[in-house]
Structure 1
Amino acid sequence: MKHLLWAAACLAVLAGGSAAHARVTRLEIASEQAYGSFAAGEYRRLDGRIAGDLSPEAESVPDLDKAPRDAAGRVSYGARIVLFLPRDPAAGNGALLVDVPNRGNAYANALYNAPRTVPMAAGDLSAGTGFLEDRGYAVAEVYWELGRGAELPSFTDAEGRRRFVEGVGFAIVRDAADFLAHAPADAAGTANPLAGVVNRTLGTGKSQDGRFLKTFLLHGFNRAEGRRVFDGMHVFVSGAGLLPILQSGTGPVSSADRTPNFSDPDYPGVNDGPLTIGEVVAKVEARGEVPPKMMLLNSTVDYASLRASLGRTGAQGTADLPLPGNVRMYDVAGSSHVTVVAAPACERPPGRLDWAPVARATLQRLDGWVARNEAPPATRLMPLQPATDDPTVLQAPKSFPGAVVQVPQRDADGNPLGGVRLPDLAVPLGVHGGQNAPLTTFTCSLVGTFRPFPRSPDATGGGPASLAERYPDRQDYVNKVRVAARAAEAEGFLLPEDVAVIVNAAAETPLADPKAPASPPR
């Protein structure tokens, strides 16, 4: 019956009817290759393109009505898509994870599959540790952005300039996710490779694309054919920002390319509001929609460089506003917005706290929350303090004179208090999460710093306590790491396999070698 209803809807649209406001008309798979063998079985990688069309009258996309239409009065789009699927569809866990690429770079593997000490760069499509595949997720990379994998409709404005309808990027992700989760085939009869095996859909996005997901939700794109598109959203380091693509741009890059920074603190469209997820969810519920279950993760550096505190307090004062029941928020203490091995343009070595284990653990908890209504970890945040007039902190936008940017409070060593505390922070070898320089170089404002503690006591008696004073021997250090790791596991922020890796790394840390440089356990 489901197949018959879908076919009837497709025929009605092909005949010029209005049974569907938006749809994927074609799924074109250009190549297929083996991706590897994992705990859930063999995986394959499919590279291709999706094509779809939209009804300008039914979409809240500015300027869509100005784009050329086909004979049925609809506007077409196309986009790159990459799928990572179990070769045996029944071997999957039933979850479809839709990753929203960042400036044309897929991010799911860097977020969830990155091995310790070797952070994966955005755009890396290699399997890494294979965490997602071991757990049976079907993964879709859906490209949406102007100049970076999406073919957006365009028109010529009154001044003769070509303009691209960038808001269609939201429709692309919506239509692709809904198609993969629910359709047996496209309008041309090409089978959906996930037909019948998806029972829940999760959206994930980091930074720019965490802002994509919040804006997607705010403006009603989480509905398709009368049903919810994403049942859960995993939103990383999005600060208090949104994504300004509900406009038409002239290219070559999209309106989503830039964000407020130390060189341009009042860049428009990102921190113009709403600032808090509570405001977003209130608008969703006011429309009668059931919002997805959401987890929002912040890095320590986000507070100083991306105004993350405004995502907690909004545009007025310093008090945290209540979070909706469908939302959990976690601060990863000491972490950087971006984890890199080296940052040659910056004055100090970058931070290296590995927060991929928290991404993995919270994805599992989000999936359990969505699939079985299992209670997730409670919100865990760092206590804050105002940072007014601090030149190392990106201050509030001028459009919100009552907003106060705050940063994490720190202990006597300089490490942040509270939040999700990995063993790196609970049993520190140095100070994590400081600001790098020059802050006017955007990358340097996001990579943070790590400053190691001295190995031996300072002869003058000044400075922070040394490693020798903190940890009498390696056994003491490893035992403290083990205790901290087990505590994080019990709280839901580490998985058992990551606990083992962290403890093994601690056992290899050369505390007893005075010639070896101090480095955080990874």
Structure 2
Amino acid sequence: MARFGFNPAVALIAALGYGIGFPTPAAAKLTRLEITSQQSYGTFKPGEFVWWQGRITGELQPTEKIPDLDKAAKNARGMVEYSAKISLIFPKNPKDGNGTLLVDIPNRGRVYAQALYNSPRDEPFESGTNDVGTGFLQDHGFATAEVQWEMGQGADLPTFIDSSEQKHFIEGVGFAIVRDAADFLKNATADTAGTANPLHGAIKHALASGKSQSGRYLKTFLYNGFNMAEGRRVFDGMHVFVSGAGMLPIMQSSTGPQSSATGAPDFANPEFPGVHNGVLTIGEIIKHVKDRGEKPPLMLMLSSTTDFYSLRASLGRTGGDGGTSDLPIPPNVRMYDIAGASHAVLPKAKCDLPPATLDWSPVSRATLLHLDDWVAKGTEPPPSRLMPLEPAGNNPMVLRAPSNLPKAVIQIPKRDADGNALGGVRLPDMQAPLGANAQQNPPLSFTCMLAGAYVAFPRTQADADAKHDTHRPVLERYKTRNDYVNLIRGAARDLEHDGFLLPEDAAVIIQSAAASPLWRTPAP
């Protein structure tokens, strides 16, 4: 495994905070919880849920290991203050919940929990929604918190003025905000002003969830020591989605107005700094955590097929030193590749090919319950399940390695003759496919490279001939609707048995297959 100290970009890493050293125990606290809005969220299996919105205010010791924090203005107690928006959805009687707090890390200010876990099959949620959807989180009793952390996205960060009168925003405080809020909701009775913690006595465990940018947030949060507060572990488990091999470059101060967390490498700017300049594998992160004497959280990490084409996800498995074999996965981590999944389901994306459509929220739901059981009961989740990879070579549809990793070998999933990825966690739609899922989608804009493409197979041989399509037609693959539905049903039951599909999601998938219009006789 590559060691951080030998990375050629070590100077940049130090500037971004990835090598900042061993943080001192946090002397920080939430000083105020102000709720500005309360409403009912609906009634679910445990009872009524409420939705509270407001702000939190906290303060930090200026000696905490956050770059430039000592330069910020101090309050009367000699502390540095911050504030941020917070949103809570929890049982009206908090003790009716399951005892788990799920802290969802917003992505560029957009909340994600409902899109990840409550998204319906036929109209997938995009980030930013607070719609109820399937109600999965609430039916299972989770209390959820959305804590804004990013500059310009609902978090008021400390600042300082340099010698040239330029204002700088101390972005690393974004990690402390989430740490302090989660620790407060998990452990505190009240804030220092006496406002009660609405979840006091109801929370036994805390999980964190983050997708893409906010998945990189969680890995960097953990690496830099923010999962400890006054000697306590903050998050017992982390659910990390489609984070590729990247980290988040906010352990620095900037002049704004844009957050340092907003950008990422893409085909137009493959050298974007800070994301692939430091640690790449979860093994490196966990080793760093253990070397500090901390107990790392239990982690489930999910990757999509398009992540390997557009986010260098293979480096999260092999490192960047030229190897092509997977490095050992720490025992507290499971990694699951979702075959045929796109980084995000974006049906309105303007790309050359139709955007990918595979609904992989069922795997999000099943694996969240596994993570909760692993934390609460010690019940181990399914073993890691990965897609086999092969070197991308000079494939122009694959994001190349950055110049700071000259030995890195970018790899992509192996595919079958239809163009579908092999191995990994295979939803029924992949076991009995009606098209090629998660193809790369020109023109390789930031949106299209993440959306991927779905290329439907021709329905009949006549359709194939008319379009010069060499794919085997649907009605030759599956002679009757029953043939198709039975294959979907068998795949669903197998995946349910393996722990990646819940019975209620299997029923929805089978029903959708049974209602497919492909076997209807076209109108004359």
TM-score (norm 2): 0.93
Task: Give the alignment partner of residue 476 of structure 2, picking from 464, 469, 478.
Answer: 469
Partner residue in 1 for 2:269: 264
Structure 2 residue 39 is matched with structure 1 residue 36? no
Indicate the residue corresponding to 2:61 in structure 1. 55
Q: Quote how far apart the aligned CAs of 1:515 are.
A: 4.5
**Partners of 2:414 and 2:58 in 1: CA distance:** 49
CA distance in 2, matches of 1:290, 1:384: 32
| Secondary structure in 2 matching 1:311 | helix
1:139 aligns with 2:144: yes
Q: How does 1:147-162 map to 2 (within 5 A)?
A: 147-162=152-167
C-alpha contact (below 8 Å) 1:142/1:173 kept by paired residues: yes
**1:191-237 Cα distance to aligned partner (Å, 9 max, x none):** 00000110000000000000000000000000001010000000000
Distance, in Å, in 1 between the alignment partners of 2:124 and 2:25 is 46
- The answer to whether the Cα contact below 8 Å between 1:473 and 1:511 also exists between their aligned partners in 2 is no
SS state of the match for residue 312, structure 2?
coil
1:342–1:349: 8 Å Cα contact kept in structure 2? no
2:32 aligned residue: 26
CA distance in 2, matches of 1:248, 1:332: 36
Q: Whole-Å Cα distance in 1 between the matches of residues 269 and 310 of structure 2?
A: 12
CA distance in 2, matches of 1:514, 1:332: 34
Residue 497 (1) aligns with residue 494 (2): no
Whose RCO is larger (CA < 8 A, sep 6+)? 2
2:207 match: secondary structure: strand
- The 3-state SS of whatever aligns with 1:119 is coil
Q: Which residue of 2 aligns with 1:246?
A: 251
Is 1:479 matched with 2:486? yes
Q: Judging changes above 3 Å, is the alpha-carbon distance between structure 1 residues 449 and 282 closer, same or farther for their aligned structure 2 residues?
A: same
**What is the Cα-based RMSD across aligned positions, in Å?**
1.4
> What is the CA-CA distance between 1:120 and the residue it aligns to?
0.9
Q: Which amino acid aligns with 1:486?
A: R
Alignment of structure 1 residues 12-411 onto 2, 5 Å:
21-57=27-63, 59-316=64-321, 317-343=323-349, 345-411=350-416
Task: Please give the alpha-carbon distance, in whole angstroms, between the structure 1 residues aligned to 2:62 and 2:167.
Answer: 19
CA separation of 1:195 and 1:462: change in aligned 2, threshold 3 A:
closer
The CA distance in 1 between the partners of 2:272 and 2:452, in whole Å, is 22
Q: Distance in 2 between matches of 1:19 and 1:429?
A: 54
Asked if 1 retains the 8 angstrom alpha-carbon contact of 2:26 and 2:229, the reply is no
Secondary structure, counterpart of 1:504 in structure 2: helix
Residue type of the alignment partner of 2:85: R
**Distance between the aligned counterparts of 1:27 and 1:19, measured in 2?**
23
Of the three residues 423, 428, 442, the one matched with 2:428 is: 423
Tell me the distance in 2 between the aligned counterparts of 1:481 and 1:55. Answer: 57
Structure 1, unpaired ranges of 5+: 1-17, 517-522
Question: Do the aligned residues in 1 keep the contact of 2:392 with 2:398 (CA within 8 Å)?
Answer: yes
Relative distance call for 1:140 and 1:386 in structure 2 (3 A) is same
Instruction: Tell me, yes or no, if the aligned pair for 2:25 and 2:229 is still in contact at 8 Å.
Output: no
* Letter aligned with residue 484 of structure 1: A
Matched residue type, 1:278: G
Rounded Cα–Cα distance in structure 2 between residues aligned with 1:506 and 1:159? 65
SS in 2 for 1:443: helix
Residue aligned with 1:81, SS: strand
Q: Which amino acid aligns with 2:337?
A: D
Q: 1:456 aligns with which of 442, 460, 482?
A: 460
The 4+ residue runs of structure 1 with deviation greater than 2 A are 457-462, 513-516
User: What is the identity, as a one-letter code, of the residue corresponding to 2:30?
Assistant: V
- How big is each residue's C-alpha offset from its partner over 1:415-457, in whole Å with a ceiling of 9 and x where there is no partner? 0000000011101001001001111x20011000111111112
Letter of the 1:378 counterpart:
P
Asked if the contact 1:114/1:356 (under 8 Å) is kept, the reply is: yes
Q: In structure 1, what is the equivalent of residue 517 of structure 2?
A: 510
Question: Structure 2 vs 1, CA of residues 390 and 193 (structure 1 numbering), >3 Å: closer, same or farther?
Answer: same
1:513 deviates by 2.9
* Corresponding letter in the other structure for 1:268: P
Counterpart position of 2:3: none
Using the alignment, how far apart are the partners of 2:234 and 2:509 within structure 1?
Answer: 36
Q: How far apart in 1 are the matches of 2:117 and 2:409? A: 33
Letter in 1 for 2:135: G
Q: Percent identity?
A: 59
Give the deviation of 1:90 after TM superposition: 1.5
In the alignment of these two chains, the number of paired residues is: 496
What runs of 5+ residues in structure 2 fail to find an aligned partner?
A: 1-23
CA–CA separation in structure 2 for the residues paired with 1:310 and 1:514:
48
Q: What SS is found at the alignment partner of 1:145?
A: coil
CA distance in 2, matches of 1:250, 1:165: 9
Q: Secondary structure at the match of 2:519?
A: coil
Letter matched to residue 491 of structure 2: A
- Cα deviation for residue 20 of structure 1 reads 6.8
Q: Could you tell me how far apart the structure 1 residues matched to 2:258 and 2:114 are?
A: 24
| Counterparts in 2 of 1:399 and 1:35: CA distance versus 1, 3 Å | same
TM-score by length of 1: 0.93
SS in 1 for 2:518: coil
| Equivalent pair of 1:118/1:341 in contact (CA under 8 Å) | no
Deviations 1:71-110 (A, max 9, x none): 2211000000000010011110000000000000000000
Secondary structure of 1:104 counterpart: coil
